[in-house]
Amino acid sequence: MSEVLDLSIVIALLNEEESLTELHDWIDRVMKEHGYSYEVVFVDDGSTDDSWKIIEGLEKSNPAVKGIRFNRNYGKSAALDTGFRAVSGRVVITMDADLQDSPEEIPDLYRMITEEGYDLVSGWKQKRYDPLSKTIPTKLYNAVTRSVSKVKLNDFNCGLKAYDLRVVKNIEVYGEMHRYIPVIAKWSGFSKIGEKAVQHQARKYGSSKFGLERFVNGLLDLMSITFVFKFKKKPMHFFGTLGIFSFLTGFAFICWLIGEKIYLLNTSGTARDVVDQPLFFLAIVALIIGSQLFLTGFLAELLAINTRKKNDYLIRERLNLD
């Protein structure tokens, strides 16, 4: 039976050739100082520089280094999800490859998972070395996410996080959902989520791979993940409720129009034709929409039952992994 590792460190990267060796040496030093058994899984998300060559060189000198290389750029969520499938350590750490996350934080994160019983611990960069154009939208984004998800974190987007192995093996990260891993974890039943203030390093090499558009995408992703996790196993509850409401509203208006005509005919002898009233056509539209929403709910239920998970990320190479 193979030894259970203390730590698995997953590093998703894109064109970070300048920082990889320095980051590896820093991690290795911290691991040896604390006597951890560990593995570092570098997930190269389609880099066009020499990042993969450097990872190959690191693996030759350190058997704890493992690598996964995508055939093209799929995004950070795909890289993390693939890395999660490959790890086996008791505690899983994610961190960025740009040296802005400090490996010195790992021992405390490890202790919070193993001794304090947290399912997930997220880093909180209280003091950031970023321009106002990035920090102000980040504060707004975090406030909105806290309000919607009810997960009380100050920094959802911090790349430095620690997970119990059970968490990463039982969640799926896709699209651009890496920003919402704490939300996904909570809604998957891993509710003991903590936060630790961590040191934020100024970027030493290269430039950020994310622009301001990520905040717009982040809001859309939040709406998507909220809907999917609430209704993915019971879509009829969403579409059916709207369908019934629309159908009954349209039906009530038609009954009211017919009743009004009967009343006027009995009292005054004259009444406007039901089909001559605009409200009649609005009621018909409501009936049709209600029926369509109800049928949509049935189709969504069938898809939810029959759809199977599929990992379609094309991996170009694996290094030191079965």
18-76, pLDDT tens digit by residue? Answer: 999 999 999 999 999 999 999 999 999 999 999 999 999 999 999 999 999 999 999 99
Give me the pLDDT at residue 106, please.
Answer: 97
Give me the pLDDT at residue 79, please.
Answer: 95
Q: Does residue 229 contact residue 235 with C-beta atoms inside 8 Å?
A: no
Q: Does residue 42 contact residue 20 with C-beta atoms inside 8 Å?
A: yes
Q: Which residues of the chain have pLDDT under 50?
A: 1, 308
95: nearest Cα among 16, 5, 151 = 16
Q: What is the pTM of this model?
A: 0.74
**Domain 7-231: which CATH class?**
alpha beta
**What is the C-alpha to C-alpha distance for residues 78 and 173, in angstroms, rounded to an integer?**
7
Instruction: Indicate the burial class of 160 (C-beta count within 10 angstroms; 0-12, 13-18, 19 or more).
Output: buried
The pair of structure tokens assigned to 169 is 């093996």
Q: What is the 3-state secondary structure (H, E, C) of the chain?
A: CCCCCCEEEEEEECCCCCCHHHHHHHHHHHHHHHCCCEEEEEEECCCCCCHHHHHHHHHHHCCCEEEEEECCCCCHHHHHHHHHHHCCCCEEEECCCCCCECHHHHHHHHHHHHCCCCCEEEEECCCCCCCHHHHHHHHHHHHHHHHHHCCCCCCCCCCCEEEEHHHHHCCCCCCCHHHHHHHHHHHCCCCCEEEEECCECCCCCCCCCCCCHHHHHHHHHHHHHHHHHHHCCCHHHHHHHHHHHHHHHHHHHHHHHHHHHHHHHHHCCCCCCHHHCHHHHHHHHHHHHHHHHHHHHHHHHHHHHHCCCCCCCCEEEEECCC
